[in-house]
Amino acid sequence: MDRGAKVVCITLLSALLVHTGKAFAQTTISGRIADETGRAIAGATLTALCPSGPVAVTATPEGAFTLPCADVRQLKVSAPGFLPVTLDTATTRIVLHPAGASEQITVTSDRASDVPGDTAKTVYTLTSEQLRDYPSLTLDEGLRQHAGFQLFRRSSSRAANPTSDGVSLRGLGSTAVSRTLVLEDGAPLLDPFGGWVHWNENPQQTIRSATIVTGGGSDLYGSSALGGVIDVVPESPSSNSAGNSFEAMGAGGSQYTSNLQATGSHAGSHIGGLLAGESLRTGGYRSVAPEQAGLIDINSTVLSQSFRSEIGRRDLPTKRLFLTGNLLNESRNNGTPLQTNATRLWRYLGGYDAPDNGVATGRVRVFGSQEGYRQSFTSTAANRNSEALTRLQRVHTQEIGFTTDTTVRLRHVAAVFGADLRDIRADDAENPVSKNVATGLQDTTARQRFFGGFGELLGERGPWSGAISLRADRATNLDIVQSTYTYAPASATIGGQPNRTEIVLSPRAGLVRNFGQLVSIHASGFRAFRTPSMNELYRTGQVGQATTLANAALSSERGTGWEIGTKLARPSGLARLQLTYFWTIINHPVSAVLLSQTATSSISERENLGQIRSRGVEAALDLLPARPVSFTIGYQYADATVTKFSAQPSLVGNWIPQVPRHSASAAMHASRPRLGELTVAAHFSGTAYDDSSNFYSLKSSFQLDASAHHTLTHRLDLELMAQNLTDRRAQVGRTPTLTLGTPFYAQAGLRIRLGHLSR
């Protein structure tokens, strides 16, 4: 984008902040009331001092409210069990804090809800408003509000190959495969073959909230929860109030980007339905550093469509029967004319939430998916002026699963128990290519099956609360057939791998001590594990000119860790601080170990290292929450190193690849009823290394973003966004070619609303 366009975009953002009220005046103010975790508070009472006098309204069961005047001079909010709040003006987001620890009923990230006591875990919840206001195009960009959240490489999923979209939390890193479990409505969102995440699988407007739980979670969820759990809560049609709603948004931006969204919802007295779609097209940008780019280097482009549908019945707030379906269709160009990949993913989920009778409740989920994935790989000349195809890959995956859990509550004690089953079948077909001609076929069919059961006991007494849990998992790799066919001369080899089964126990124990109403200290310890994905076991991967070989002999990663932390809050609700020290070791971690390299390429193989350790501090500070101007600040220090590896002792003491020691995030949100909303966000990532040998270093990066929303009429909003305002591109990878992150990006759009979607 030229300098003139940048000036125009930045000027538009600034103009919204200093707007003096000449825009269309609002006659009402709508918003939502929630607790610290983002859970809606039903039935809260709001008393507003309007020019015509005091007016009282009651929040809906979803926590939504509408005040009949825009010029609110004072607003008082109260709800049973929560501290009352008095505000000088109205705001669209109001957060209430529990009135006392003994009365607190917490919805935790656990597989139980409404359990007694506080949780001995470090939990961060991002509401739909926080995700909407943050200057982001994709879900992973919005989750960067948590300082410790990072993909395998320091780039957005908008431009990155999906095989590099695994999640790293608490400095544990990833090898494209995620060491963090991502869930949606109780079902896994990880790619069933590769373990990465398709972050644009759901239309962005259908995401209600996201909860990030750092620290091992295998005691409740099994494999992949080494670094924590991210629970994505989708939007659903509300059956608590009848009506229809429709929302659509159209936006255009730099890099030849267009983004179209539409959502329709029907909420009957019992039956509700939702249909949503999103189309994202971007011309992207050239990722190779200009000084190393050649004739073959072109923009990394994306064309994707995602759809979501839901139909369900809700008779009570706690009784729900539903069926959802997702479809992702995506094609990408990965930076050269011959390097491409495409994904087509169907996912379905059916569920039942039993009514809560005050003592017991439960839920059942049945889920599945079918995916087709293809990718091409090339070799490039040293001057990057030519390339040649080396391999074509096609992967077909089928998945089916079942999960259930039950919660039984007494006055001070609750018990949770449940079980999961997941079965994955995959076929990986790879064609080696020489001189643009396929020379053969390497075909692998395999199957993975996971079965686990768990139990958890939670309780509270006075200022103390705690939980103890244990889960047993059986993970099996079976039905492995590997075939190799050579076309000229014709030959065939058919072999296989023996079935392998691992049984893993994952315990956890935690304790919380409350000091008064607003201070608590918690401590916990855990064991966790991750079974290697079929991608790691059987598929050759490549990022740029870095090739990573599969290893069918890989074993599970085993993690052990503990944490101690504190939560502090001002009685007035003006500030909240969460501070945690963590220590985690992973035995037999899967990592790409360098075998050979040249000036233009490298070859690595996945291996189980001896041990890695990550220890450090994570902190989150909220200032002036639910006020017209609020601030959030996050920081993570992670000392993440290799501590044992007898095969290559020289690696001991090295940093874990792609994990910086220092990460920080900050955001300011300002809201005025007549002017709109403005969010300014910053993210910092310290120095890191791109390889296990710590030879290729990546400099620290800083990115400044901004977004603004202004209501033109009661149905029409103007939305502006700009990313990387300083145009300082992050160093993403050295493979060994240096690749860079997104340059300056700006977009503008209009959003129209008819009716209201439940928030």
Q: What is the pLDDT of residue 38?
A: 56
In angstroms, rounded to a whole number, what is the distance separating the alpha carbons of residues 358 and 414?
Answer: 12
Ranges 141-150, 309-318, 405-414: which has the least confidence: 309-318
Q: Specify the range with the lowest mean pLDDT, choosing from 77-81, 215-219, 310-314, 526-530.
A: 77-81
Q: Are 397 and 369 in contact (CB under 8 A)?
A: yes
Half-sphere exposure of 377 (CA within 13 A, CB side): 21
Phi, psi (rounded to 5 degrees) for 68: -80, 5
- Cβ atoms of residues 502 and 530 within 8 Å: no
pLDDT at 644 over 80: yes
Give the whole-angstrom CA distance, residue 601 versus residue 610.
26
Paired tokens of 473: 């998992």
For the ranges 76-80, 98-102, 505-509, 604-608, the lowest mean pLDDT is seen at 98-102
Beta bridge partners of 759: none
Which region, left, alpha or beta, applies to residue 186 given φ > 0 means left and ψ of -120 to 50 means alpha? Answer: left
Residue with tokens 């469509």: 305
Confidence (pLDDT) at 101? 30
The conformation of residue 735, written as its DSSP 8-state character, comes to S
Average pLDDT, the chain: 86
Give the integer Cα–Cα distance in Å for 110 and 133: 27
Residue 540 has pLDDT above 90, yes or no: no
| Per-residue model confidence (pLDDT) at position 698 | 95
680: tokens are 């300014």
Ramachandran category for residue 463: left, alpha or beta (phi over 0 → left; psi -120 to 50 → alpha): alpha
Q: What would the 3-class secondary structure string for 112-125 be?
A: CCCEECCCCCEEEE
Residue 757 pLDDT > 60: no
The sign one gets for the Cα dihedral 134, 136, 139, 140 is negative
At residue 314 the predicted structure's pLDDT band, cuts being 50, 70 and 90, is: confident
Distance between CA atoms of residues 156 and 253, nearest Å: 16
pLDDT at residue number 572: 64
| 294 vs 627, more confident | 294
Q: Please state, in angstroms and rounded to a whole number, the distance separating the CA atoms of residues 507 and 524.
A: 11
What pLDDT was estimated at residue 302?
94
488: exposed, middle or buried (Cβ count in 10 Å: 0-12, 13-18, 19+): exposed
Confidence of residue 117 (pLDDT cuts 50, 70, 90): low
* pLDDT per residue as tens digits for the range 228-244: 999 998 888 754 445 78
**From residue 326, how far is each of 112, 280, 404, 588 by CA, in Å?**
26, 16, 21, 35
Confidence class for position 394, pLDDT limits 50, 70, 90: very high
Report which of 185, 222, 187 is spatially closest to residue 449, judged by C-alpha positions.
222
Half-sphere exposure (CA, 13 Å, Cβ side) for 42? 5
What does the pLDDT average to over 89-115? 55
- Of 99 and 359, the structure prediction assigns the larger pLDDT to 359
pLDDT of 102 reads 30
pLDDT band at 103 (very low <50, low <70, confident <90, very high): very low
Burial zone of 357 (CB within 10 Å; 0-12 exposed, 13-18 middle, 19+ buried): exposed
The torsion region of residue 665 among left (phi > 0), alpha (psi -120 to 50) and beta comes to: beta
Say which residue the tokens 């439960």 belong to: 362
* CA Rg value for the chain: 26
Q: What is the pLDDT of residue 180?
A: 93
Q: State the pLDDT at residue 6.
A: 52
| pLDDT for 513 | 94
pLDDT digits (tens, 9 = 90+) for 162-178: 888 888 899 998 777 88
Token output for 238: 């509300």
**Shortest CA distance to 442 belongs to which of 389, 495, 399?**
495
- Identify residue 58 by its one-letter amino acid code: T
Query: Contact, 748 vs 257, CB < 8 A?
Result: no
Write the pLDDT tens digit of every residue in 235-284: 887 544 457 889 999 999 999 999 999 999 888 777 889 999 999 999 99
Which SS3 state, helix, strand or coil, does residue 712 take? coil
H or E element at residue 214: strand 207-214
Residue of higher predicted confidence among 439 and 173: 439
pLDDT tens digits, 589-633: 987 777 777 766 778 788 888 899 999 999 999 987 767 888 999
Mean pLDDT across 555-579: 89
How far apart CA 445 and CA 479 sit, in angstroms, is 7
pTM of the model as a whole? 0.84
The residue ranges of DSSP E strands in 382-532, in sequence order, are 387-409, 413-434, 437-438, 440-461, 464-486, 491-497, 500-515, 519-530
- CA–CA separation, 262 and 251 (whole Å): 12
Q: Dump pLDDT digits (tens) for 671-726.
A: 887 788 999 999 999 999 998 889 999 999 999 999 999 989 888 999 999 999 99
Phi, psi of 357 (to 5 degrees): -95, 15
DSSP string, 614-677: EEEEEEEEEESTTSSEEEEEEEEEEEEEEEE-TT-GGGTTPBPTT--SEEEEEEEEEEETTTEE
- Residues 165, 471, 322, 425, Cα dihedral to 10°: 60
Phi-psi region for residue 405, left (φ > 0), alpha (ψ -120 to 50) or beta? beta
pLDDT band at 660 (very low <50, low <70, confident <90, very high): very high
Do the beta carbons of residue 225 and residue 217 sit within 8 Å? yes
Query: Quick one: tokens of 196?
Result: 């990465």
Report the alpha-carbon distance of residue 166 to residue 181 in Å, rounded.
10
Lookup: tokens for 480: 């492995």
Q: What is the pLDDT of residues 4-27, one digit of tens each?
A: 445 445 444 444 434 433 333 346
Percent of the chain with pLDDT over 90: 56
Given a contact cutoff of 8 angstroms between Cβ atoms, the answer to whether 679 and 707 are in contact is yes
Closest C-alpha to 526, from 587, 470, 460? 470
For the stretch 450-504, pLDDT in tens is 999 999 999 999 899 999 999 999 999 999 999 999 998 889 999 888 999 999 9
- With b meaning 16 or more CB within 10 Å and e meaning fewer, what string describes 74-94? ebebebeebbebebebbbbbb
Beta strands in 268-299 (DSSP E): 271-285
Place of tokens 């656990």: 110
Is the pLDDT higher at 262 or at 30?
A: 262
Q: Taking the C-alpha atoms of 630, 636, 637 and 640 in order, what is their torsion angle to the nearest 10 degrees?
A: -170
Q: Tokens 């089953």 sit at which residue? A: 421
- Catalogue all structural domains in the chain, each as residue range(s) with its CATH number: 3-692+710-754 (2.40.170.20)
Confidence (pLDDT) at 590: 87
* pLDDT of res. 104: 30
7 φ/ψ sector (left φ>0, alpha ψ -120 to 50, else beta):
alpha
Strand partners, 217: none
